[in-house]
Structures are given as structure tokens and as C-alpha cells.
Amino acid sequence: MSIQSIWLVPALPLIGFLINGLFRNSLSKSLTGIIGSGTILLSFVVSLLIFGQVRQPGFQGEVVTLFDFITVGKLSIPFAFQVDQLSTLFLLIITGVGFLIHLYSTSYMHEEAAPHFARYFAYLNLFVFSMLLLVLGANFIILFIGWEGVGLCSYLLIGYWFKNLDYGNAAKKAFIMNRIGDLGFLIAIFLMIRQFGSVEFGEVFAHASSAKVGVLTAITMLLFVGATGKSAQIPLYTWLPDAMAGPTPVSALIHAATMVTAGIYMIARSHVLYDLTPVTQSVVAVIGLLTALLAATIALKQNDIKKVLAYSTVSQLGYMFLGLGVGAYTGAVFHVMTHAFFKALLFLGAGSVIHAMGGEQDMRRMGGLRKWMPVTNLTFLVGCVAIAGIPPFSGFFSKDEILAAAYAKNPVYYGVGLFTALLTAFYMFRLYATTFSGGFRGTQDQEHHLHESPSAITIPLIVLAILATVAGFLGIPEAIAPDAHVLGKYLAPVIGGEAHGGVEVSKGTELGLMALAAVLALVVSVWAWVRFKSRPDLAEPTGFGKVLANKWYVDELYNAVIVKPLDLLAQLLVFIEKNIIDGIVNGVGRLVQYGSRQLRLLQSGQVGGYVLLMVVGILVLFLVELFVKK
């Protein structure tokens, strides 16, 4: 398979989207499922073949130009794909995890009517297509097309059950918040065109060092604004928890494993620009750290199983931005990969639980589920251990790499990061213990209904659990085994060798930090497990817990500061529109109608009357001619 056939990778999901979308009324459910998952599987196979070439040592990135997309004046934007180590890695994550989630969906969504089932798969395929476009684009415009495409699909899938008004509102919220970020991204692209006369990665990065730092800072900050929207960072993160309105596999694919990591991909891709602007780097690091901490504190007190996972996603994304901010691009991408595995696993596990509970999402009414769902229980536990950062599971290695780089940059980053990691371990094991341990707290009906999910659900869980366990070994830090960082070496041609942000900490310190993080995470996990196993957190929170349960009242704050004034403005504009502008338009119409009704009376059919009017008219013209001064 030559590199040129890279176009197949996004084309296959597009075909799947077209078939499922256009023939959704005539296709049977099983055929829809086969087309939807099959195209992604084929795409994954093609990606694997291409990966086989890209991973050869000495492979330099290649740009595959398909056709000329836009040519205006001196600006030429080809429709081109960037095939290199970074984009291929993302291809594998997207199509691989994407396929598992498609497979899972065939069972999870089975109760939907056939046209809606096909609509779901069409959206899902369109999403995969857009996401592939996003990571493959060889310039910022193609990236932006994919960027918008995934935003659209996210909107469509959050609002998949559009008859529920709340879900529709959640979809709108996600879309609008993304639009705010997208505006920043778009302005950054315009600035780039002005500064470099090109949007192609190669050109922009080659000329970046000759640009003024001020302009570069503006560009990178605006790109970061785009990233905060898509990747749910402060201040635009509130859409992600609401996005849990969508079906659970959607949350797993879009709002955990792939779409929300688009911002990380974009910044890792343009790391050349960020390396030149230390100010933006600090902003990225601080925002990432704050988001990680804030979301982790909120997750402590959530009772909806998906909400906990949603806030944990926001928190982990914050980690990745911390990694980007401190220059650990490899670490951030590494964490994207491991996070894709364990978070998709956790979401799919949660989906399996919700499925068994007949749609119940409140974990206060669960408990003791491990008796009924052994596979889900075990895989979910693997996911929890991985995200909590307990060695040798994958989360430990990726998190550790980011934390080590943070320590090298600034020990305060490290301290806050470690604290957040402990919070993560705590709320994940609170979630695990409340859901799977202890006694069942739901109704008799639910207890009767409990069952392990079918194999289309458990197989993806098992595969993801294995990946979440072993993926960490791709990035064994130098301190443990020299030259064992496979991922770092693989990504080196794109991201450069500075896996630890340039500043090295001594081997002893790194090992010490690692041991500290691992031991603390283990202690906190066990403590949380033991604590919530016997005494689940059922009471209504009070005091500070209430603030956390209400998400720091950020939604309320946004409502009061932004939404309410905008609503008032909109009401004023509606008033102006209805009364003044519509009044003018309708008034003109009514005047013409009235006038013509009166004038119509003149057409009496009496010829004499017409002639008289004509004569009067001629006389008037005469008088005007004679007496009006020119």
C-alpha cells in the first residue's frame, strides 16, 4: 500500500456515511451495522498498512496533494494530506477505537428504530470522516474543515434524541461554545495568511522564526482559544459535561477519545510556533492545570456515572494541555493515546452498566454490580486503575511523563498536578466502589433485569482493557530503562527529541517523583475504595460539597453574566424587529394596498371619464409648462 492511497482512509467512512444516510429508510439494522462498522474497519486496515511504512526508520513526512482547493491571488491552498508519524498515530487511534465503538454501538443502540439506527451510524461515520480530515490535513484550512465537521457531528449526536428538549439544548450549548473557540481559530488562520502568505504547515513552520514574537503570540493565543473550545478548557469547558446527553458510545468516541483531543493534536502539530512563544506556553500550562484541578474537584461530588467520567475527561484534557504548555509534546500525545484507550473503556463500561440498569445513570441506585456483570466489572476496574495512575497500567506512564516535564519547568506545576492526580484516583475509586461493590440499592425490577451485556459490548471492553493495560509500555521513561521510549523515538521526526521539555531532571529525582506519585495514587485509591465500599456517599452534600456538586456554580455564573444580558438584548432586538422594522415593511405594504384600492375606483369603464381625466392631465401639463419656472 503506497502512501498515495492515504485518501482511502477518510474516503471509506465517507462512503459509509453516504450509504447509511441516503438509504436509511430501506436498510435493515444488521446491514447498517455492517456497513457502518465495516467501513471503519477497512479504514483501520488501510491505516495499519500505511503505518507499516511510516514506522520505517528514516521516514520523513510526506505531503499527498489531491487537488487544488482554493487559489486566490498569491494564496494557494491545496487539498493535501500530511502523512507523518504524528498523523498516522492519530489515524490508528481514531479508526481503531472508532471501530470498537461502532461495534459496541451495534448492540447498544439496538432498540432504536431502523431509520434512526441508520441515522446514528451515518452521523458516527461522518464524524470519523471529519476527524480523519482534521488529523490528515496538510494545512490549517483542511484542518479547520475537519475541525468544523467534528463540531457539527458532535452537535448532531448530542442531540440524537432530539425529542428531549434538554438534550437539544445541550447540543446547542456544545455547538455555540465550540463556535466561540472556532472564531479564535479562524482569526488565527487569517493572521497566518497575512503574516506568512500561506497556511501550509511546512511553509508556516519554516518561516515562523522570522516572524515577530508579538504576531506569533497573537496567532498561538488565538489557536489556543480554538483549542479551549474544542478540547473543553477553561473558560469554554462547560459544554462537555452537558454533552453526556448523547448516547454513551458517542460520549466514548467523541467526547472522550477523539474529538476533544483535536485541540491537543493541533497544538502538538504547530509546536514550532509554540516553542517560539514562551508567553503562550505559560498560558497553556496554567489554563490546563487550572482546568485539570477544577474539573477534578467537581468530579468528586457528582452522582451521575457519566458526569463523573465527563469531568474526569475535562481534567485529563487539562493534563494534556499542561504537557503541551511545558513542552512535553510527546508526553501530551502519549497521554492522548492512553487516555483514548482507558477513557473509551470507562465510558463503554459505564454504557454497559447503564444498559443493564435499564437507562439508570445515578450511581446512588447502583451498587454490587460485580456479582452480575463480571466482565464489565473487571474491565472497568482496569480502566480505573489506569486513569488513577497506578503502575504498570498505561495512565501511570503518560501522566508521569507530563508530571516530570512539569517538575522540570516549575515545581508548583508538579505539586498541583500531583494533587489533581490524587483527586482523580479518589473520585475514580469512589465511582468504582459505589457502582460495583457493596449491595444493590436499585429497585426490585432493576435487580431482576440485571445481566451481563452481550458480546458485541464485552469484546470492545476486553480489547480496550488490554490496550489500556499495555499501552504504557510504549513510553517507558528514560529513568527506568534507557532507550525504551518507543513512542518518543517514533514521534521524534515530527515533534523532536525534547520529550522532557528541554530541562532534564536528574534520574534519581525522576525516579523519586515517580515512586511518590505511584505510592500516593495507590494509597488514595485503596482508601477511596474501602471507604465507599461499605458507606457509599448517598446523603445530599452540604457546605463545600454542595458547591462542588453544583460545579462551582459556573453554569449559573455564565447564565447570569453572559446568557441573561444576551437574552435581554435579544428581547430588545425582538421588540425593535417586531414593531419598528416589521412595522415599516408591513406599513409600506398596507399603504400600497390601500392606495390601489382607492385608485381602482377610477377605472369605472366609463370612456367619458377616462377622456376627461386625460384632458385634465394634458391641461395640467400645459399649466406646468407655462407657469412653472424652470
Partner 1 sequence: MPINYYIFLAVALFCIGVAGVLTRRNAIIIFMCIELMLNAVNLLLVAFSKMHYHALSATAPHAGIDGQLFVFFIMVVAAAEVSVGLAVIVMMYRNTHSIDVNFLNRLKH
Q: Which residue is it, cell 449559573?
A: 556
Q: Write the DSSP symbol of residue 199.
A: -
CB atoms near residue 614 (< 10 Å): 10
Residue number with CB closer to partner 1 (560 or 612) = 612
Q: Please state the φ and ψ torsions of residue 7, each to the nearest 5 degrees.
A: -60, -20
- From the number of C-beta atoms within 10 Å of its C-beta (0-12, 13-18, 19+), residue 312 rates as buried
Number of residues engaging partner 1 in binding (CB under 8 A)? 9
Q: Write the DSSP symbol of residue 253.
A: I
Name residues contacting partner 1, limited to 117-136 (CB under 8 A): none
Supply the minimum distance, in Å, between the C-beta of residue 626 and partner 1. 14
* 542 φψ region: left (φ > 0), alpha (ψ -120 to 50), beta (else): beta
Supply the minimum distance, in Å, between the C-beta of residue 601 and partner 1. 12
Residue number with CB closer to partner 1 (2 or 606) = 606
Containing 166, the helix (H) or strand (E) segment is helix 165-196
Instruction: Determine if the peptide bond prior to 235 is cis (ω within 30°).
Output: yes
Compute the distance between CA of residue 234 and CA of residue 242 in angstroms, rounded to an integer.
15
Supply the minimum distance, in Å, between the C-beta of residue 579 and partner 1. 41
Supply the minimum distance, in Å, between the C-beta of residue 621 and partner 1. 14
Q: How many CA atoms are closer than 13 Å to the CA of 158, on its beta-carbon side?
A: 28
Supply the minimum distance, in Å, between the C-beta of residue 606 and partner 1. 5
Reading the block at residue 409, the C-alpha cell is: 519547568
Residue number with CB closer to partner 1 (2 or 603) = 603
Reading the block at residue 87, the C-alpha cell is: 498523523
Supply the minimum distance, in Å, between the C-beta of residue 614 and partner 1. 9
- From the number of C-beta atoms within 10 Å of its C-beta (0-12, 13-18, 19+), residue 361 rates as middle
Residue number with CB closer to partner 1 (539 or 607) = 607
Residue number with CB closer to partner 1 (519 or 620) = 620
Residue number with CB closer to partner 1 (358 or 609) = 609
Residue number with CB closer to partner 1 (526 or 611) = 611
Compute the distance between CA of residue 384 and CA of residue 469 in angstroms, rounded to an integer.
11
Supply the minimum distance, in Å, between the C-beta of residue 624 and partner 1. 19
Reading the block at residue 477, the C-alpha cell is: 521513561
Name residues contacting partner 1, limited to 582-621 (CB under 8 A): 603-608, 611-612, 615
Residues 322 and 445 sit within 8 Å (Cβ to Cβ): no
Choose among 443, 435, 453: nearest CA to 305.
Answer: 435
Residue number with CB closer to partner 1 (527 or 622) = 622
- From the number of C-beta atoms within 10 Å of its C-beta (0-12, 13-18, 19+), residue 426 rates as buried
Residue number with CB closer to partner 1 (540 or 625) = 625
Residues belonging to the chain: 630
Supply the minimum distance, in Å, between the C-beta of residue 602 and partner 1. 12
Residue number with CB closer to partner 1 (448 or 600) = 600
Name residues contacting partner 1, limited to 273-312 (CB under 8 A): none
What are the CA-CA distances from residue 227 to residues 177, 201, 231 (Å)?
11, 17, 6
**What is the DSSP annotation of 59-115?**
PPPEEEEEEEEEEETTEEEEEEEEESHHHHHHHHHHHHHHHHHHHHHHHHTTTS-HH
Supply the minimum distance, in Å, between the C-beta of residue 627 and partner 1. 18
What are the CA-CA distances from residue 244 to residues 73, 229, 309, 451, 515 (Å)?
45, 16, 9, 24, 35
Residue number with CB closer to partner 1 (70 or 611) = 611
CA 575 to chain centre: 37
Compute the distance between CA of residue 311 and CA of residue 234 in angstroms, rounded to an integer.
12
Q: Is 165 in the site for partner 1 (CB under 8 A)?
A: no
CB atoms near residue 247 (< 10 Å): 21
Supply the minimum distance, in Å, between the C-beta of residue 599 and partner 1. 15
Choose among 474, 559, 594: nearest CA to 238.
Answer: 559
Name residues contacting partner 1, limited to 515-574 (CB under 8 A): none
Residue number with CB closer to partner 1 (526 or 614) = 614
Supply the minimum distance, in Å, between the C-beta of residue 617 and partner 1. 12
Supply the minimum distance, in Å, between the C-beta of residue 604 and partner 1. 7
Supply the minimum distance, in Å, between the C-beta of residue 595 and partner 1. 21
Residue number with CB closer to partner 1 (497 or 617) = 617
Name residues contacting partner 1, limited to 32-71 (CB under 8 A): none
Give me the residues that bind partner 1 (CB under 8 A), please: 603-608, 611-612, 615
